[in-house]
Amino acid sequence: MDGCDQVLTTVQYEYDYGNVVNNDEVNQWLMQRHAHFHLHRACSSTFVTPQMIEVCIHTDGIERATEVDDQQMTSLHILCANPHVTGDTIRSYLQLAPGAADQEDSEGMTPFQYLYRNDIAFLEEDRSFSSLMAWWYHCMP
């Protein structure tokens, strides 16, 4: 589509103190935020798959799966906040790197809490908290 690369530049971003940030600066930050976090980039992808997660973790090493960015977010936090995530993708991550499951970010939130705030589209039948919690723990090795 024409103009897709211009979509972000038409939005004004405001932060806690009411300061409007220059859109170009925000766009630059969004593009570079995870430049040196290969797994973070994969987890934020619209097209993230279990295979992408497996390749990243096996290529970069298991210790990268618990690495944090400047907001203290692991790749699992980002994956669980991704509206395009599937249950299989989260399950793959948890089975390969269960140590990331309990890490809190700078807001004190765990990846599970991000998933709970997400739409949870992959849980078709019961989207309750207890159902999601049971599913989450069932995915752990």
- CATH number for the domain spanning 134: value is 1.25.40.20
Q: What tokens does 130 get?
A: 């207890």
Q: Can you read off the two tokens belonging to residue 83?
A: 């509206």
Same structural domain, 59 and 108: yes
Structural domain that includes position 19: 1-32
Instruction: Identify whether residues 45 and 9 lie together within a single domain.
Output: no
Number of structural domains (the chain) is: 2
Q: Which two tokens stand for residue 24?
A: 């170009």
- Asked if residue 108 and residue 92 are part of one domain, the reply reads yes
The burial class, CB within 10 Å (0-12 / 13-18 / 19+), for 40 is: buried
Global confidence as pTM: 0.74
Lowest mean pLDDT among 11-20, 94-103, 110-119: 11-20
The answer to whether residues 68 and 129 belong to one domain is: yes
Q: Say if CB 38 and CB 32 are below 8 A apart.
A: no
Contact, 23 vs 9, CB < 8 A? yes
Of 12-16, 62-66, 86-90, 99-103, least confident by mean pLDDT is 12-16
